[in-house]
């Protein structure tokens, strides 16, 4: 954003959201006039230290083995990755 733009709209903020399926990240533009901003969702970040935990690989296998009701391989992959993300988001934050 330019300084002129920021002078015209001082309360505006823009934030990158977590992408779900697309290879593009959606952007959230907040005008700042609502009185509060939308809560920031925690982004998923894979931590290499998880691999050292003896519980990690069995959990991955269990999540990955669950059935998916789709014949499209891309849908199957996306659903399995979303399950992985949902389960492991924040996993191990108390340990690592």
Give me the DSSP letters along 35-51: SSPPPPPPPP---GGGG
| Three-class SS state of 16 | strand
Domain ranges of the chain: 1-42, 44-96
pLDDT of amino acid 28: 82
Contact 55/95 with Cβ under 8 angstroms? no
Query: Distance of CA 49 to CAs 3, 45, 81, 94, Å?
Result: 42, 12, 19, 13
DSSP 76: H
9-63 residue pLDDT tens: 777 777 877 777 677 778 888 777 665 556 666 677 888 888 988 999 999 999 9
Helix (H) or strand (E) holding 59: helix 56-65
| DSSP-assigned beta bridge partners for residue 16 | 27
pTM of the model: 0.53
């Amino acid at each position: 954003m330019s300084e002129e733009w920021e002078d015209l709209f001082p309360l505006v903020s823009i934030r990158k959201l977590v992408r779900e399926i697309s290879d593009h990240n959606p952007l959230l533009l907040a005008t700042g006039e609502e009185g509060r901003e939308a809560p920031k969702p925690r982004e998923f970040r894979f931590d290499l230290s998880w691999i050292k935990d003896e519980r990690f690989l069995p959990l991955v296998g269990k999540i990955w083995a669950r059935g998916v009701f789709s014949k499209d391989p891309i849908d199957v992959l996306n659903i399995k990755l979303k399950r992985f993300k949902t389960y492991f988001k924040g996993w191990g934050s108390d340990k690592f």
